[in-house]
Structures are given as structure tokens and as C-alpha cells.
Amino acid sequence: MKASLIKVAISLLSAAYGLFGMGVLLLKSVTGGFFFRRHSKQEIQEVGAGFPVTALDRFWNLSKTWAGYSHGFVSLRDGFKFHYVTNDPVNHGDDGNTDAGEAKKAKPLVVLIHGFPDSWVIWRHLLQPHPLRDKATLVAVDLPGYGGSDRLSFYSATQVLELLTEFIIVMRERCHIDRPVDGTTTPERVIIVGHDVGCVLATRLAAEASELADRFILVNGPLIPLVESNVRRLLSSSLKMFRLFLNAPWQHRSMLRKAICTVKPVLEQCLRAGFIFTYQLPRPLVYYLCTANNLAVLRSSHRAEHGEVVQYTICDAAEALAATVGPAAEQRATWTKSGERYSEPTARERPYEGIMQMTRYFSDGTVRDPWQKSAETVAALHSLRRGNELGRRSSSAAVFDDGPPGALRARSTIVWGLKDRTFHRQICLDGIRDYLVSNSQVILLPRSGHSPQIESESRIALRKVIEWAVMGEKGDVGDAAQKAYSGAVVSVRT
């Protein structure tokens, strides 16, 4: 009976805080000038009747390439279809079939995993023409329920991680990572880059499926076990100080101030991440929040993720919105050159339904629940590990090392914008050294916010970090970042 009452109380508190978070988000959209704003003629031409018409066609029309990138699809064992873009269509093929006669020499593979509420489009600035495109196969994927990928009925941690793991393994096969087409014995490198929710998923892969990549580059996203550990530690310390103050208020009056200062990062993180509770509210409330007044809340959040840019243009706003809403009816009717198209369930969905799918990552336990690996996944990962025993620069070398629950088992480089308004640095990074294996780093970008891949200065630094990993990690990654971003600091090395 007591346990049931506690559970009900927690549910009520979560709902109450979710409603508070909803009010905060709506208020931000009002004070930011998005809720009651009327569109100019230029905005109407670019955005159309609620949708970014020009940007949608630019990013989601399957019959067109974008900046040299082609659309592709991967159909998995259970029929689920991932959508992605790549700079290497000869090796990939829009239909997933590789012509051995036309296959190029294997190159390093970089898989880019976006966060909430985005899609592959969030990487558009990083993917622009650059020498990195000639050195590696770049693959920017849409997570399940996002962009042009299929939807799920339930977004459990097991379902999402199983699908994402299988996708990466298929990409390794298509890129001949483990069986290079030129007959060499040393496989090419694999780098996984994750941001926000994509970073959370990438940390789980690094902890539980480290065989998938040689290095994980983690951008402004929390390592959930570390966050939980820091929250428990700070709450416990604060509570002890507060009890000491209550026992002798005058004698230990300084303890009250210390208790408040100790718990302050936890409270700040709760305020910043209130949206997590908001998106667990009943679906009609979530739908209103996502769609009210021509997507005012989403437009406000898009503006915030662009950081302190000199000018936030109409084009920026349209591209950010296109990243969220995914393909509209016109784009869903298009085909790739090889005859592939978006899945029928995706093509038939109502406007804005994709946005509602994204929010279910918070309500369905995607990032926190246990991952129950299937026999097929265990066998595939074991096969990768066995293939790496001779000659491969394996990130799984530390798979048997001791560490706290959730510790990363792969070499990782964390890139963190210090002006992040979503995740608190102290909550997310304090004690991170204990969760990293040898040859891992934390790089701090003092002038950047939550999305370094968008901001003009930090995206160059992030590209340099990826290039360093692609080229075999020669030299110091801190030097590479500092040459592109003055003031970048490597705060942790292992």
C-alpha cells in the first residue's frame, strides 16, 4: 500500500512539473516573439502554409542530391527501413546493393546520429564541401520515428538500440570495413558521432556494443549513469548539511548556504530539462505544445539551439523547421534513381505526426531502460570482435576493464559547448574520467552552446576532431581543435 502511494505521488509530481515545463516553453515562445508573430512575405514564400516549402524540397526530395549527398535506405531483417544520406553512393547504392565491379576502395566510415527534435539535416553545416568528404564515407542517419525513417509502435530501449546496431553493421558491410575490396588485411576505421539524444544512444553503444566503432565522438549529450550518480551524490551531501543545520541552526548556520549551493546544480538541471517531463504528459497536451500557433514552441527552440549567432535568418529558421518536420506529401511522392521511396506508413501520416513520434523517446524509456540484446545482435557483435583480434585498432580492447555501471568501453572524445542551456556541465561531466577508457578526452568549447555542429566557429572545431579520428588519430586532438577554435581546452585525458 505504501509503495503504491509513493508511486502515485511521484506520478503526480512528474505531471505537475511537466505542466510547469509546458508553461515555461510557451512563455519562452511568447517572450521570444514567436507565438503571436505574423509572417512576412519572404517567410510565407520560404515557409508556405506552416511548412518550410523550399527547404523541405531541398533536404527531402529523393530524386535530388543535396550538396553532393545522395539519399539511401536500409531495410533490416524485420522490414524496418532507415533513411540516410551519404557522400559515397557508389559504395552504398540507393537500393543497398553494391556492384563489386564499381565498388571503390574502402574508406573510413563516419556515422552521424542526430538528437531531438532533429534529423540528418542538423548536420548540414558539418557536411558542406570539405576535404573530409574525400577521406571518409559520411553517413547521416534518421533515427526511428525521425525524418524519413520508419515509425515504431513503441520506442523501447531494446527496440531502438537493436535497430540502430543492425543499421551500423549493415553500413560496415556496405563500406567493406571488415572485408576491404582491395584485398588489404587491415580494416578501415569506424567513427560514430552522436549529439543530444543521439549522443545518449551513442554512449549506450560505447558501453554495451563497443565493437561497433574505433572511436565515439560525443557532442553535448549526457551519460545517463554518470548524471544519476552525480545527482544522488549532490542530493545526499546537501541533505547531510541541511540536517546538521537543523540540529544546531545558529552554530551551523553556514551549513544552510552550503546545502543550497551544493544542490543548486541539480535544481538548475531540473529547470533546464523540464521538457523531459512535459513530453510525458497526455498526448493531446503534447500535440498542442508541438503545434500551437504555427509551431511557435519548436521555432523558439530552434532559435535557441543556434546559439549566439550574429543574425538568425529566415533561411536558418526554415532549414531548422525542415529538419524537424521531415518530408511532406510532395517529398514522400518522390523516388530515388534506384526506385526507392519513403515507406507507406511514413507517406500516409498526418502533418506533424513525426514530431509526436519524436517525443515518445521520453515517454517510452528509450534512453534509460535496459537493453535486452537479441541472439542475432550478440552473434553479430561477437563476429566483429573476433574479426578484430588480429590487426584491428580495436576499441573493444578494454571490454573487460573494471569501471562503474554504464562506463564506456570504447575510446571516446567528448566535445562540450560550455554555454549549453539544456545540460548542466557539473551534472554531466563531473567524475567523467572514471567512465572513460584509455586514450579518451573531453574537449571544452567556451563560446559554444548546445549544438556545436550548427554554430559557425564550433562546427569547424568538431570537423577537425572528426578528421583527426578519420586520419588515424595522428597528433594531438587538442591541438587540432585549438587551431580551429581559440580557447578550446582539453579538460580530461585518460
CA angle 217, 221, 224 (to 5 degrees): 110
HSE of 198 in the Cβ direction (CA atoms, 13 Å)? 28
pLDDT value at residue 30: 80
Q: Which has the closest alpha carbon to 67: 146, 137, 126?
A: 126
How far apart, in whole angstroms, are the C-alpha atoms of residue 149 and residue 346? 8
Instruction: Give DSSP secondary structure letters for 168-196.
Output: HHHHHHHTTSSS-TT--SSPPPEEEEEET
Instruction: Please check the confidence at residue 477 and state whether its pLDDT lies above 50.
Output: yes
Instruction: Please check the confidence at residue 96 and state whether its pLDDT lies above 50.
Output: no
Q: Which has the closest alpha carbon to 287: 207, 224, 350?
A: 350
Give the model's confidence band at 352: pLDDT under 50 very low, under 70 low, under 90 confident, else very high. Answer: low
- What type of residue sits at position 201? L
Going by DSSP bridges, is the β-strand pair 81-86/137-141 parallel, antiparallel, or unpaired? antiparallel
Instruction: Please check the confidence at residue 466 and state whether its pLDDT lies above 70.
Output: yes
Burial class for 104, CB neighbours closer than 10 Å (0-12, 13-18, 19+): middle
pLDDT value at residue 197: 95
Return the minimum-mean-pLDDT range out of 231-245, 294-308, 315-329, 346-360.
Answer: 346-360
Query: What is the pLDDT averaged over residues 214-228?
Result: 95
The per-residue b/e assignment along 36-66, b for 16 or more CB within 10 angstroms, e otherwise, is eeeeeeeeeebbbeebbbbbbbbbbbbeeeb
| Peptide bond connecting 117 to the previous residue in cis, omega within 30 degrees of 0 | yes
Q: What is the DSSP letter of 123?
A: G
Burial class for 133, CB neighbours closer than 10 Å (0-12, 13-18, 19+): middle
The helix-helix angle for 157-174 and 375-388 (nearest 10°) equals: 40
Give Dmax over CA atoms of the chain in angstroms: 83
What backbone torsions phi and psi does residue 410 show, to the nearest 5 degrees?
-120, 155
How far apart, in whole angstroms, are the C-alpha atoms of residue 101 and residue 460? 36
Place of cell 580557447: 487
Cβ atoms 434, 403 nearer than 8 A: yes
What count of residues does the chain have? 494
The residue ranges of DSSP E strands in 9-136, in sequence order, are 70-75, 81-86, 109-113
SS (H, E, C) 373-398: CCHHHHHHHHHHHHHHCCCCCCHHHH
What's the pLDDT tens digit per position in 172-219?
Answer: 998 888 765 555 556 789 999 999 999 999 999 999 999 999 999 999
Long-range contacts of 175-179 (CB under 8 A, 24+ apart): 175/88, 175/91, 175/92, 175/106, 175/107, 175/109, 175/137, 176/91, 176/103, 176/106, 177/106, 177/109, 178/384, 178/387
Q: Which residues pair with 112 in a beta bridge?
A: 140, 193
Cβ atoms 103, 181 nearer than 8 A: yes
Quickly count: other Cβ atoms within 10 Å of residue 378's Cβ.
11
Give whole-number Cα distances, 319 to 58, 218, 299, 312, 458, in Å.
Answer: 9, 24, 11, 11, 19
pLDDT value at residue 306: 76
Chain centroid to CA 232: how far?
25
- Higher local confidence (pLDDT), 24 or 183: 24
Cα dihedral sign, 161-166-169-175: negative
Instruction: Please check the confidence at residue 346 and state whether its pLDDT lies above 70.
Output: no
Instruction: Give DSSP secondary structure letters for 435-493.
Output: G--SS-EEEEETT--S-TTTSHHHHHHHHHHHHHHHTTS-S-HHHHHHHHSTT-EEEEE
Burial class for 95, CB neighbours closer than 10 Å (0-12, 13-18, 19+): middle
What's the pLDDT tens digit per position in 103-142?
Answer: 556 789 999 999 998 999 999 999 988 888 889 999 999 9
Instruction: Please check the confidence at residue 362 and state whether its pLDDT lies above 80.
Output: yes
Place of cell 539524444: 197
What backbone torsions phi and psi does residue 430 show, to the nearest 5 degrees?
-60, 125
| Whole-structure pTM value | 0.90
What's the pLDDT tens digit per position in 378-408?
Answer: 999 988 875 554 333 444 444 445 678 889 9
What's the pLDDT tens digit per position in 38-66?
Answer: 655 555 445 444 455 688 888 999 999 99
